[in-house]
A and B are shown apart, each in its own frame.
Chain A
Amino acid sequence: MEKRPGLLPELIIPVGSIAFGIYYLSTVWELPFQAKVVGIYVAAAIAILSFILFIRFGREIWSGQKSWGIEGFFSDPVSEARRWSVLALTVGFIVLMPVLGFVVTIFAFVFSAVIVIGGVERIKAAAFTALGMTIVAFLVFIVLVKVRFPTNIIDQTLKGFFL
């Protein structure tokens, strides 16, 4: 039997928008009219549009075009595993940068991301890409543009060679 596409993922944005609209209105309710007028109109528009969408979704379920569930949202397991791993690495990149500093975090992130997506057999390519990326990022962001990224002793030492 052919699987019908699931409706649940399509509901996340309208339901989330309504929830955000309610939260928005709760924060502006006590404010003067001019500070809340745009919020009121936009939240009302979101409610109306979502209502129309819900009716449409209801009809699609009723006619058997779609099912409750998440069918069709996720792709093949390998791609999904890679995608979630890259997301975890991205979160790790942000959390760890204040601890590990600029250079180490970028190298570790790019190296692991290449391995996660390309496979362990690309370990050499991963190392070269990570090294190249780290050098370019360091030269552009730290040496040339002097952005105040979190740095540690390694970054400070490297900076000392250039500045």
Chain B
Amino acid sequence: MEQFSTILGLFSYSLTYWWVMIPAILLGNLVGAIPGFSAANTIIILLPLTLSVDVEVALIFMMALYSASQLGNGIPAILVNIPGTGGAAATTLDGYPMAQKGQAQRALVYCFVASIFGGLIGTMFVLALLPVLSQVGNYLHSVEMVVIILFGLTLIAVIAAADMIKGLLAGMLGLLIGAIGTDFIYSEPRATFGMLELYSGVPLVPALIGLFAISEVFVLIERGRVLKDEYMDVVVSSKLYDVWVLVKEALRSWFLMTWTALIGVIIGIIPGAGASIAAFVAYQQARTFSKTPELFGTGVPEGVAAPEAANNGVTSGTLVPLMAIGVPGGSTAAIMMVVLQYHGVTLGPRLFIDSPELAYGIFTAAFITYLLMIPLMFPMAQYMSRVTTVPAFFLVPMILAFTLLGAFVPRAYMFDMGLAVAFGLLGYLARKTGYHVTAILIGIILGPLMEQYLMRALRISRGDVGILFSSNLGNILWLFLIITLLLPVYKSWQARKKQKEAV
């Protein structure tokens, strides 16, 4: 009871820091929307600021920035087919087709509703079950992670539904590209073409920028603008009131958003896993259990809501191991740990006894941040959707310049800009010839993670593949994976049977 009243008091306490949260939300949205930037590198850049203010202010600022950047990732993914990070790549699958059909505002509203709803659900879930959730990481080892990543990889087959062989080939090429660089056990270089810049593997940001942004602008040059001409009037005549109607419509998918947000929280808790896996798994699950799975990829709002709710669920999840046991769940959490330690905060179980206002406060701050996003983000959807009407001669140079600069940011190598162009050409060729770029990207993102966990498992078992079926939780996950793979086959068989009966 005492803990409950402490948490309740923390909500109102967090609200008094609105003046820290609002600039952090705006900055977070901006950095989230620019490929190459992330909450992690922005917090590093702003270290002089976060180290010089009170620990509460620093913590709230970092949390608000992190939460807002997760939401910001989805905006360019919808408007111009450029995900801010790998976590928003799944959003492009349905978000961009919606924008092309004049439904950019609808897609953005779904993105905002799902992000905010997912963030709120994730935060409440974590606050309610923090002691239990902090133990989840102990039960998820390499074997279980292999199965979880396989959930994400099966999305390649889902995406490839239109042309299975081409889609699978694109996914395999992505996996092989992801396996460039030194291996995880012996640190032997593999397929680096003699380039030192590739020893640590193919950097994700230039690959993302090339496959999505650069290939997209080459297509845009031909098309003239994102929006198809016949939908011009729909976008231009959209009103602020439409946002309210769309919010109500989006909230009808509350069950999907809750469920995928919880997927995000659980995946976020696992150190090393992240928003990319969560978003792909959520998209794959949403499609599997949809009544109209065949429409996914053509511009259905559920295809936007699921990955966005999941990657905002990750935000809270990733902080659970940090606060509960002092192990950061991701790069942003690791930087937050540095700031907190500088301020003399000792993370771990003692934190909940010594400074509950900090231990729980980070989550209440996230909750309030998501609430503040409601008045800040929704009115902007109408204006943001107009980006789709901007002619290519303005949009293309700006996208190219910003994304190429973004490719340079994470490692400060000019090489990475060249790599982005090379991936751009691959992406353009893939688009023109029917090989799916998202399948290539899934391979590049999940391939190294898959290899890392598989190697660890095989190392522990001394090469015995049986280890993959040695844990109860792992076997349950295998069962779910098999169900997930067989369910669409069963559903389509049932639909065919019904059709036959009707005839």
Contacts and interface: CB of A to CB of B under 8 A. Distances in A.
Contacts of A141: 405, 409
Contacts of A56: 165
A33 B183 CA distance: 11
A24 B176 contact: yes
Interface in B374-394: 391-394
A113 B397 contact: yes
B394 A129 contact: yes
Interface in A3-45: 9-10, 12-14, 17, 20-21, 23-24, 27-28, 31-39, 42-43, 45
A141 to B, nearest CB: 6
Contacts of B228: none
B196 to A, nearest CB: 15
A98 B408 CA distance: 13
A145 B45 contact: yes
Contacts of A12: 429, 433
Contacts of B356: none
Interface in B419-467: 421, 425, 429-430, 432-435, 447, 450-451, 454-455, 458-459, 463
Interface string A117-134: 111001001000110010
Interface stretch (B8-16, B187-195, B346-354): B187-195
Nearest to B433: A10
Contact of B170 (A13, A20, A43, A145): A13
A17 B400 CA distance: 27
A107 B179 CA distance: 38
Given A24-B191, A83-B222, A86-B217, A10 B176 contact: no
Nearest to A28: B190
A93 B424 CA distance: 15
A21 to B, nearest CB: 6
Nearest to B454: A38
A113 B404 contact: no
A114 B185 contact: no
A2 B45 CA distance: 59
Contacts of B463: 33-34
Contact of A90 (B188, B400, B408): B400
B398 A110 contact: yes
B169 interface: yes
A31 B414 contact: no
A88 B432 CA distance: 20
B402 interface: yes
B34 to A, nearest CB: 8
Main secondary structure of the interface of B (DSSP, over half): helix
B199 interface: no
Contact of B451 (A20, A38, A73): A38
Contact of A133 (B186, B398, B408, B454): B398
A87 B422 CA distance: 11
Interface string B82-100: 0000000000000000000
Contacts of A20: 173, 176-177, 191
A85 B93 CA distance: 29
A9 B408 contact: no
Contacts of B455: 34
A94 B172 contact: no
B417 interface: yes
Given A27-B189, A31-B186, A133-B401, A21 B176 contact: yes
B234 interface: no
Nearest to A46: B172
A144 B27 CA distance: 11
18 contacts: A13-B173, A13-B430, A34-B185, A34-B458, A35-B183, A35-B186, A39-B190, A46-B176, A49-B165, A49-B169, A49-B172, A86-B400, A97-B417, A117-B221, A145-B42, A145-B409, A148-B412, A149-B408
Interface of A: 9-10, 12-14, 17, 20-21, 23-24, 27-28, 31-39, 42-43, 45-46, 49-50, 52-53, 56, 73, 75-76, 79, 82-83, 86-87, 90-91, 93-94, 97-98, 106, 109-110, 113-114, 117-119, 122, 125, 129-130, 133, 137, 140-141, 144-150
- 8 closest A-B pairs (Cβ-Cβ)? A118-B393, A113-B397, A35-B183, A117-B393, A79-B222, A24-B191, A49-B169, A110-B397
Given A39-B179, A106-B401, A141-B409, 18 more contacts: A9-B432, A13-B433, A17-B176, A27-B190, A28-B188, A33-B463, A35-B185, A37-B458, A38-B454, A53-B166, A82-B221, A86-B396, A90-B421, A94-B414, A94-B418, A113-B397, A117-B393, A122-B393
Interface of B: 34, 37, 42, 45, 165-166, 168-170, 172-173, 175-177, 179-180, 183, 185-186, 188-192, 214, 217-218, 221-222, 391-394, 396-398, 400-402, 404-405, 408-409, 412, 414, 417-418, 421, 425, 429-430, 432-435, 447, 450-451, 454-455, 458-459, 463
